Structure 1
């Protein structure tokens, strides 16, 4: 009977133990992967070209449009903390996704209406548009509804997919590593369609159609998600992880004068094979952050916490330095939807005599890079690296993340070199007031390609690392934690742009990121990001060297 059912505590949709032959693995993941592809098509269908919509249709300058996009994008990656808390504590991942898609579709429908219904859409005469305060407000209400809706999906979908593989089954556990690669692959399949076809529709057909198609894609994603329900394995919510961690902190301080025994076996833990935390395996004691062990010391008075409960808090604290090292990388990544697009607007976008490529569509080369490197990494690099490292995954998760951080430096160097060449051409030919400099936009391809390569290593590495190192009952929360690096990266980008603009526009100067980039110094901004990335990489090496991987035992209740 044991071999017929999963041993990680998962249930089927009817709340019965999950049958290994009828649920989970790739038969469930096919629905999850296609759903994620459609959802990402919807998201990138809005976000990829959003800076142009805000700048041109809402009548904002380069700096205001750029900051509006990074603030919104940052919020999209911060709200997952809300969804993750609800998933881990009360609803579970399946029902959290099911609930938040309703908010998501409402936001997308409102955005489509704001771009297509007379009275809600700005009045335009050629390229000159005038948006009222009401129209701007409607647009941003729609965008932030989407940001809230995505908060229940982003932290849960990747973890929900990984839940379909039983960690206690070696064959399924090995397949889970491949799942994260293919999960990121299908994200970029959706993004590829958004960056090419949808951006072209937005720039040449209209924003109503350009936002309407992603809305339909999101509706399809919802139908596909529910279609696979009978195949899914569901993890039981384990109660509020925040409450459990606060209990450990409070108990530790109340017992601050209590001596921790040298023998860890004397610390309190239940004697059953399963953990007292529903849906979680027991965690082995680790000899770090020993102050919190006081919470598991038995005394006559005071709250008594289990070793597993204490180790949950330790695990989260240990993840924070790795988490923080991803913020600068996320700031680099955010440039693709802001200054890369603005830089491309100043370059020759023609492809032959009768066709032009929108600058936002250059993100297609980031996606093509991801689609190229994902299978190459999974099928070629991992087996080759395995021969040299002896590690089952080729590289450890932390090594994989570090390689991506190193590659990201080259993306900023590449963008900086191109901007130096572009400005030199402007000065040489006195083109300061030209809208377009006769340099092909395809010179931007290397900077997008480097970002895509870095994503395959860093972002996928982070997805796998935070899921794998998270305590079982905190996996949505830790996946959300990984996503908040993107949020803070966007906010960091906003802060850098704001500070750089304030400092460099003193004395009547145009500034580094001027409305007319031909009179600015965008190259200096790229060099700043390159230096920050370089320093961040060396800090990360120190962090990774001192990290100790999690050890779990037993099986979940």
Structure 2
């Protein structure tokens, strides 16, 4: 079991095995033959492949739903958001299983097995024949069998379950390979969180460009099948790294972290009940109860911050839905007859990340370190606050660009032609993709580091799951908003804000609504962070 994460305790390069640490077979391990980058890179390879495969499906999923599966724009966007929301919430269950029973190493193995099964099934589902007819409002309309639809969604949600077992454990397990009490490994761990996402961004960029092209030009079965092959190969690589991994043994006689957390919550409320009208007599156990209460309070203090981050999850959900549909209406020619797939425009987000992370880690952090005196340049909460500002600006830019697109469609008399290419370059969409990419750097680094460090040590998988749940709840909120607004705006026979003919829709109104929600989120966030006290003073 590697459920406990006390890291390493005072054992140096003196030939002794590391205390409280074992390999995957329960044998003692030594610093010079385990952990560090030599072990973390195997985990990075696995997570890189899982991210590649995930974006290979999600980046172009709305195209598949509105194409071969015949969904409307609104229903497809809601379906994508609900699926992505479920995939982002499943890490809460995965964190519970990892911290209470399986451990992170075995959770990743379980996730890898489910990934292979899920991507294999979605490949098979995409090859089931679909009857197609022409349509005035869509490029083509599909009439898939109920078996095809059911099988596709089963495989899709199986992948979501696999993400639940993988996402809260991958980063935490890789971080476990570095000892924060050892100077060299501590320094490596400080950069690890930044460079982790740099490598993940590579997988995202390649996936959304390459896989979307394969799906739309060579076939959906080939596109999904290649993801299955990649995941099986990555699973093998992860297993090859097993002899070098550091697994942490639970404290002897300790409770399950979640059981202890529930018990400590009960203890806290019991102690609060005694404080009303009763002077408590001191007992030796009071000190222990105080420690338990502080542990619970450290978890509860995260909830307002988590709540204030939800609007960002709503904004982020639309990169793979309406941003994609906008791109399909624009002139996407590169040169000659070569045309960008709409989903390939999403590569500008990861490209911004690839350029920004080295600049941030090597230029901005040292400069900010001199200004603030903080080793990380900005505190985790300041990084998350930057996310709020950039995501708000992104929605304002997206609304202005969409208003311009609608104006152009009116100028050229294309309002009633759903399949027309609006004479407006795809370059107009680049700023909103780049801005959301920059926001995602601060979100991934800031939120993950914040929730990881501020959780009690043996609940850190849950801490990382809180970040993913921001995206999950954001997806559900987005799906609910789309369904509600679609129903309200289409009542009385009018055009919905999300009409299948985007030239008669009003995505700009929806983006302004999201900008308003982001502004409210920013105000709440500032209010909550003013009074927040870090568990580790060094993070200030």
Deviation at 1:50, TM superposition (A): 0.4
Counterpart-to-counterpart distance in 1, 2:132 and 2:206: 27
Q: 1:166 and 1:552 mapped to 2: Cα distance?
A: 19
Check whether the contact 2:53–2:207 (CA below 8 A) recurs between aligned residues. Answer: yes
Give yes or no for the alignment of 1:398 onto 2:393.
no
Where does residue 532 of structure 1 map in the other structure?
Answer: 517
Q: 2:445 aligns with which of 452, 456, 460?
A: 460
Alpha-carbon distance between aligned partners in 1 of 2:386 and 2:315, rounded to the nearest angstrom: 15
Q: In the alignment, is the contact (CA less than 8 A) between 2:193 and 2:445 conserved in 1? A: yes
Deviations 1:42-100 (A, max 9, x none): 11111110010011110110001101111111110111111111111112100111122
Q: State how far apart, in whole Å, the 2-side matches of 1:222 and 1:388 are.
A: 44
Distance in 2 (CA, whole Å) between partners of 1:528 and 1:475 is 35
Aligned counterpart for 2:90 among listed residues 45, 59, 79: 79
Whether the 8 Å CA contact 2:334–2:340 is kept in 1: the answer is: yes
CA distance in 1, matches of 2:479, 2:385: 25
SS of corresponding position for 1:512: coil
TM-score (structure 1 length as normaliser): 0.88
The residue number in structure 1 matching 2:3 is none
Residue by residue over 1:25-58, the C-alpha shift from the partner in whole angstroms, topping out at 9 and shown as x without a partner, is 1111111112211111111111110010011110
- Give yes or no for contact 2:18–2:28 (8 Å, CA) kept in 1: no
- CA drift of 1:368 comes to 0.2
Residue 7 (structure 1) shift: 6.9
Q: Give the 3-state SS of the residue equivalent to 2:52 in structure 1.
A: helix
Instruction: Output aligned runs, 1:51-450, within 5 Å.
Output: 51-116=62-127, 120-124=128-132, 127-237=140-250, 239-259=255-275, 297=286, 306-434=289-417, 435=419, 436-450=421-435
Q: How many Å separate the matches in 2 of 1:149 and 1:177? A: 28
Contact 2:70/2:142 (8 A) holds in 1: yes
Q: Determine if the alignment matches structure 1 residue 469 to structure 2 residue 424.
A: no
Q: Structure 1 unaligned runs (5+)? A: 269-295, 299-304
Output one character per residue of 1:499-555: Cα deviation in whole Å (capped at 9) or x when no partner: 2112212221102111111111110101111111112112111212211111499xx
Aligned counterpart, 1:293:
none
Shift of 1:334: 1.0
Deviations 1:367-421 (A, max 9, x none): 1011111111111110010010010010111111111211111211111111111
Q: How does 1:499-538 map to 2 (within 5 A)?
A: 499-538=484-523
Question: Aligned with 1:79: secondary structure?
Answer: helix
Q: Distance in 2 between matches of 1:236 and 1:194?
A: 37
Deviation of the 1:239 alpha carbon = 4.2
Q: Is the 8 A contact 1:367 1:452 kept in 2?
A: yes
Q: Tell me how far 1:308 sits from its aligned partner.
A: 4.0
Q: 1:220: how far off?
A: 1.4
Instruction: Report the CA distance between 1:250 and its aligned residue.
Output: 2.6
Which of 3, 9, 22 aligns to 2:12? It is 3
- 1:488 has 2:497 as partner: no
Shift in Å, 1:6: 8.0
Q: 1:484 to 1:246 in 2, by over 3 A?
A: same
Matched residues, number: 517
Equivalent position of 2:137 in the other structure:
none
SS at structure 2 position matched to 1:382: helix
Deviations along 1:272-318, whole A, 9 cap, x unmatched?
xxxxxxxxxxxxxxxxxxxxxxxx638xxxxxx65443332111101
Mapped to 1, the partners of 2:89 and 2:437 lie a distance apart of 22
Change (3 A) 1:376 1:239: farther
C-alpha separation between the residues in 2 aligned to 1:309 and 1:552?
Answer: 20
SS in 1 for 2:423: strand
How far, CA to CA, are the matches of 1:239 and 1:447 in structure 2? Answer: 47
- Does the 8 Å CA contact 1:156/1:476 hold for their aligned counterparts? yes
> Is the 8 Å Cα contact of residues 92 and 465 (structure 2) preserved in structure 1?
yes
- Which residue is 1:278 aligned to? none
Native 8 Å contact 1:88 1:239 kept in 2: no
Secondary structure of the 1:351 match is strand
Q: What is the distance in 2 between the residues matched to 1:395 and 1:162?
A: 20
Post-superposition shift, 1:103?
A: 1.6
RMSD, aligned α-carbons: 2.4
- Residue 309 of structure 2 aligns to a residue whose secondary structure is helix
CA drift at 1:140: 0.2
Q: Which moved more, 1:122-131 or 1:5-14?
A: 5-14
Contact 1:74 1:487 in 2 (8 A): yes
> 1:370 & 1:469 partners in 2: Cα distance?
25
User: Distance between the aligned counterparts of 2:65 and 2:245, measured in 1?
Assistant: 40
For the 8 Å contact 2:18–2:31, the answer to whether it is kept is: no
- Aligned-pair distance for 1:240? 2.6
Q: Displacement, 1:254?
A: 4.1
| Equivalent residue number for residue 277 of structure 1 | none
Cα deviation, residue 2, structure 1: 2.8
Aligned partners of 2:383 and 2:443 also within 8 Å = yes
| Matches of 1:257 and 1:550, distance apart in 2 | 25
Report the Cα distance in structure 1 between the residues aligned to 2:255 and 2:108, rounded to whole angstroms: 18
Report the secondary structure of 1:335's partner residue. Answer: coil
SS at 2:25 equivalent: coil
